[in-house]
């Protein structure tokens, strides 16, 4: 479920009905409220910082060291040599390329399919509950369980999908294996995208659609001129989280190909460096580089959000 | 959509069937594999010619699966309780109280929701080994709580905002402290939101694979998704397809139950933000 955390983070941009009480300048009550507020957030903040901020800072130190678990006596600060090693390695660039390809293709297709699914869920007149329930299964299923299903389905001589495709072994060729991984990702994440978009879709006023229809707009015109612009915030939020989520793809690749035949993602590469090469220095360097990539992606999206960015000034409005 | 023609009805009906079929096919394939006999495991047909419980009785008698299953349930429940508790406190503060640093908290939660977990694995592995947390339940519970918290804080603060403010004011007028107002008045009203949050957080813990394979080394704390990697076949030449499929079905059952009984809540929780965003 690590793949689904972000859904709700868009929340702060919302306007709840509740209004915050006007605060008198630091009366006793306001002071007590401040104290209580800080007290209540303390445990959450401590855990979140302990698990992220501290390890990241530690990883920065580790990335500047030569530190191989097999050679514990040979730990030495070597500056940016690890970065030079990783950035001049074809493994890193291949993994980055594979990750970007998987992310771009799977997120684009998921967006289109998610939009179709949202339309189906929105317009469906009967069995709506059933369709929603069933489409939640791919979202909820353990990625590893689904990945095994795909793996066996594509195993020649064993799987129903392999049988359909003349029993060649797609998981052993780079391009085909990446295609299989992308299919697995799309299957898993389309329902989530669909539900987020459905929420945005339900905000599009029906009257506007009707008025446009009366004015003679075609279904496609109504979709592109009314639905899409009104859904832009929902789409951007869904895209941001799907993109970041897809960029850290690990489970599907680990089970389907274990990163063989040039299908390693940046995450599986980082994992291999730690647990197979036992190289803490290089592993940490990869961690930091992934962190930087994610920061870049997030920045690009948040610039795209403009004022609608989650966590921006909307928070103080209510 | 005021007038529905029979053609539209057929169209949407077909679309529904396609959605259902696509969503269920890989799950059905797992179920099918899990009931196939070892001899028939290489038969690519979707419907087993002969059904057997053998794979299930096999894994449910093996500590290689049972123990990890217990770990998954225990770690999942403990992490969920802690995360929902901490998230409720923080979400209450975010939704109801004026205090400095609110924006920092929201930003931090957003950052963690987007965090690439692999970036944590190397440093956390080293830290956990030096603290003796490696290969223990708490070695997984701590990161699970941290990754459940952002989701919890966002979902719960959305739910908390829907709760009628006046009730809390009334409680305060009757002499309750803000803390009492929280425990006695808001918390019971927030229970539905907390259930939703608990389900979503539990699903995060239940599905995690990367942290589970990184921070455990034996079945004493390995969770079920991580344990499937280590199943062995009858001999070194056989792949344990049947047992793995059965295990995959077993760990999918709780998800199907959640989805069946809490479909509305899950959808509401997942989209509580996006709707208004």
Per-residue DSSP letters for A45-103? HHHHIIIIIHHHHHHHHHHTEE-BTT-GGG-EE-TTHHHHHHHT-HHHHHHHHHHHHHH
The pLDDT confidence band at residue B29, using thresholds 50, 70 and 90, is very high
The pLDDT confidence band at residue B277, using thresholds 50, 70 and 90, is very low
Given this model, what pLDDT does residue B136 score? 94
Residues whose CB falls within 8 Å of the CB of residue B23, separated by 6 or more in sequence, listed in order: A134, A135, A137, A138, A191
CA distances from residue A46 to A52, B76, B79, B109, B202 in whole angstroms, order as listed: 10, 20, 15, 12, 21
List chain B residues with CB under 8 Å of A160.
29, 44-46
For residue A186, give both structure tokens. 């799309």
CA distances from residue A85 to A79, A91, B121 in whole angstroms, order as listed: 11, 11, 20
Length of chain A: 318
CB A254 within 8 A of CB B212: no
For residue A31, count other CB atoms closer than 10 A to its CB: 10
Given this model, what pLDDT does residue A9 score? 38
ipTM of the complex: 0.88
Instruction: Identify which of A254, A18, A259 has the alpha carbon closest to the alpha carbon of residue B158.
Output: A18
The pLDDT confidence band at residue B235, using thresholds 50, 70 and 90, is low
Contact B120 A287 (CB under 8 A): yes
CB A55 within 8 A of CB B124: yes
Residue recorded with tokens 């360097």: A285
A220 lies within 8 A of chain B by CB: no
Given this model, what pLDDT does residue A162 score? 84
Rounded to a whole number, what is the distance in Å from the CA of A174 to chain B's nearest CA? 23
For residue B274, pLDDT beyond 60: no
Rounded to a whole number, what is the distance in Å from the CA of B250 to chain A's nearest CA? 10
Given this model, what pLDDT does residue A7 score? 39
Given this model, what pLDDT does residue B26 score? 94
For residue B76, give both structure tokens. 């999942």
| C-alpha span between A269 and A283 (Å, rounded) | 8
Instruction: Identify which of A7, A176, A120, A58 has the alpha carbon closest to the alpha carbon of residue B268.
Output: A7
The pLDDT confidence band at residue B236, using thresholds 50, 70 and 90, is low
pLDDT in tens, chain A (318 residues): 333 334 333 334 333 444 444 545 678 888 888 888 999 999 999 999 998 888 889 889 888 988 887 777 777 778 888 899 899 999 999 999 999 999 999 999 999 999 999 988 888 766 677 888 888 899 999 999 999 999 999 988 888 888 888 767 788 888 899 999 999 999 999 998 998 888 888 888 888 888 888 888 888 888 888 888 888 888 888 888 889 889 999 999 999 998 888 899 999 999 998 888 888 889 889 989 998 998 898 888 878 766 454 544 344 333
The SS3 assignment for A128 reads helix
Contact B97 A17 (CB under 8 A): no
Given this model, what pLDDT does residue A46 score? 94
CATH architecture label of B62-276: Orthogonal Bundle (1.10)
| C-alpha span between A29 and A37 (Å, rounded) | 12
A84 lies within 8 A of chain B by CB: no
Lowest mean pLDDT among B27-36, B140-149, B159-168: B159-168
| C-alpha span between B66 and B86 (Å, rounded) | 30
The size of the A-B interface in CB pairs under 8 A is 400
The pLDDT confidence band at residue B69, using thresholds 50, 70 and 90, is very high
The pLDDT confidence band at residue B35, using thresholds 50, 70 and 90, is very high
Instruction: Identify which of B67, B50, B91, B112 has the alpha carbon closest to the alpha carbon of residue B222.
Output: B67
Given this model, what pLDDT does residue B233 score? 61
CB A194 within 8 A of CB A114: yes
Length of chain B: 277
Per-window interface: A 104-123 vs B, CB < 8 A: 117, 120, 123
CB A145 within 8 A of CB B251: yes
| C-alpha span between B36 and B56 (Å, rounded) | 11
For residue B120, pLDDT beyond 90: no
| C-alpha span between B51 and A44 (Å, rounded) | 49
> Over the range A205-227, which residues count as b (16 or more CB within 10 Å of their CB) and which as e?
eeeebeebeeeebeeeebbeebb
Contact B149 A311 (CB under 8 A): no
CA distances from residue B164 to A13, A19, A96, B190 in whole angstroms, order as listed: 20, 11, 49, 11
Rounded to a whole number, what is the distance in Å from the CA of A73 to chain B's nearest CA? 16
Given this model, what pLDDT does residue B11 score? 82
Q: Which of B45, B107, B119 sits opposite A59 (nearest CB)?
A: B119
For residue B68, pLDDT beyond 90: yes
For residue B1, pLDDT beyond 50: no
Query: Domain extents for chain A?
Result: 85-309
pTM: 0.86
CB B91 within 8 A of CB A26: no
For residue B202, count other CB atoms closer than 10 A to its CB: 24
pLDDT tens readout for residues B79-111: 999 999 999 999 989 988 888 888 888 888 888
Given this model, what pLDDT does residue B45 score? 83
A11 lies within 8 A of chain B by CB: yes
Given this model, what pLDDT does residue A316 score? 39
CA atoms within 13 A on the CB side of A313: 2
Per-window interface: A 15-34 vs B, CB < 8 A: 15-21, 23, 30, 32-34
The SS3 assignment for A279 reads strand
Mean pLDDT of chain B: 86
A228 lies within 8 A of chain B by CB: no
A59 lies within 8 A of chain B by CB: yes
Rounded to a whole number, what is the distance in Å from the CA of A194 to chain B's nearest CA? 10
Q: Which of A20, A52, A195 sits opposite B267 (nearest CB)?
A: A195
For residue A181, give both structure tokens. 């991984």
The matching CATH number, chosen from 1.25.40.10, 1.10.3720.10, 3.40.640.10, 2.120.10.30, for A85-309 is 1.10.3720.10
CA atoms within 13 A on the CB side of B128: 24
Q: Where does chain B hold its CATH 1.10.3720.10 domain(s)?
A: 62-276
A79 lies within 8 A of chain B by CB: no
The pLDDT confidence band at residue B234, using thresholds 50, 70 and 90, is low
Given this model, what pLDDT does residue A315 score? 42
Contact A267 B118 (CB under 8 A): yes
For residue A106, give both structure tokens. 């799977």
């Amino acid at each position: 479920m690590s793949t689904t955390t972000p859904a709700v983070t868009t929340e702060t941009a919302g306007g709840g009905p509740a209004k915050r009480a006007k605060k008198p300048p630091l009366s006793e009550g306001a002071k007590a409220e401040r104290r209580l507020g800080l007290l209540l957030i303390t445990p959450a903040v401590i855990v979140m910082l302990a698990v992220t901020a501290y390890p990241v800072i530690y990883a920065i130190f580790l990335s500047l060291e030569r530190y191989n678990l097999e050679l514990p006596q040979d730990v030495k600060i070597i500056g940016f040599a690890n970065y030079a090693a990783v950035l001049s390695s074809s493994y890193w660039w291949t993994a980055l390329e594979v990750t970007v390809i998987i992310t771009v293709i799977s997120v684009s297709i998921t967006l289109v399919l998610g939009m179709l699914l949202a339309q189906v869920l929105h317009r469906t007149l009967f069995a709506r509950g059933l369709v929603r329930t069933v489409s939640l299964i791919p979202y909820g299923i353990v990625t590893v369980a689904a990945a095994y299903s795909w793996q066996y389905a594509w195993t020649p001589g064993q799987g129903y999908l392999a049988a359909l495709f003349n029993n060649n072994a797609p998981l052993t060729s780079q391009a085909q294996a990446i295609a299989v991984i992308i299919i697995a990702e799309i299957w898993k994440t389309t329902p989530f995208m669909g539900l987020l978009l459905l929420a945005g879709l339900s905000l599009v006023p029906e009257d506007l659609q009707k008025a446009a229809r009366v004015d003679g707009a075609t279904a496609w015109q109504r979709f592109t001129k009314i639905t899409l612009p009104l859904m832009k915030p929902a789409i951007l939020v869904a895209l941001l989280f799907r993109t970041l989520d897809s960029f850290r793809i690990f489970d599907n690749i680990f089970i389907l190909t274990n990163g063989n035949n040039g299908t390693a993602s940046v995450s599986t590469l980082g994992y291999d460096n730690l647990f197979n090469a036992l190289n803490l220095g290089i592993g940490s360097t990869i961690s930091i580089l992934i962190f930087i990539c994610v920061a870049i992606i997030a920045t690009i999206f948040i610039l795209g959000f403009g004022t609608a960015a989650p966590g921006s000034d909307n928070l103080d409005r209510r | 959509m005021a007038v529905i023609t029979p053609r539209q009805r057929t169209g949407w009906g077909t679309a529904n069937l396609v959605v259902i079929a696509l969503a269920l096919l890989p799950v059905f394939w797992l179920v099918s594999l899990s009931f196939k006999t070892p001899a028939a495991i290489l038969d690519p047909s979707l419907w087993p010619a002969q059904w057997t419980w053998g794979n299930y009785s096999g894994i449910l008698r093996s500590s290689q699966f049972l123990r990890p299953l217990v770990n998954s349930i225990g770690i999942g429940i403990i992490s969920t309780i802690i995360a929902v508790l901490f998230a409720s406190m923080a979400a209450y503060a975010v939704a109801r109280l004026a205090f400095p640093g609110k924006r920092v908290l929201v930003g931090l939660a957003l950052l963690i929701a987007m965090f690439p977990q692999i970036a944590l694995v190397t440093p956390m592995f080293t830290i956990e080994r030096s603290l003796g947390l490696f290969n223990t339940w708490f070695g997984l519970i701590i990161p699970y709580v941290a990754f459940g918290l952002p989701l919890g804080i966002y979902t719960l603060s959305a739910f908390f905002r829907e709760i009628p403010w006046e009730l809390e004011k009334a409680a305060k007028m009757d002499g309750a402290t803000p803390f009492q107002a929280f425990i006695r008045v808001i918390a019971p009203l927030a229970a539905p939101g907390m259930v939703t949050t608990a389900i979503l957080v539990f699903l995060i813990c239940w599905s995690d694979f990367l942290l589970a394979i990184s921070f455990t080394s034996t079945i004493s704390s390995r969770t079920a998704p991580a344990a499937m990697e280590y199943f062995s076949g009858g001999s070194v030449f056989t792949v344990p397809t049947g047992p793995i499929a059965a295990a995959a079905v077993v760990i999918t059952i709780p998800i199907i139950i959640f989805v069946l009984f809490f479909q509305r809540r899950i959808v509401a929780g997942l989209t509580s933000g996006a709707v208004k965003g």
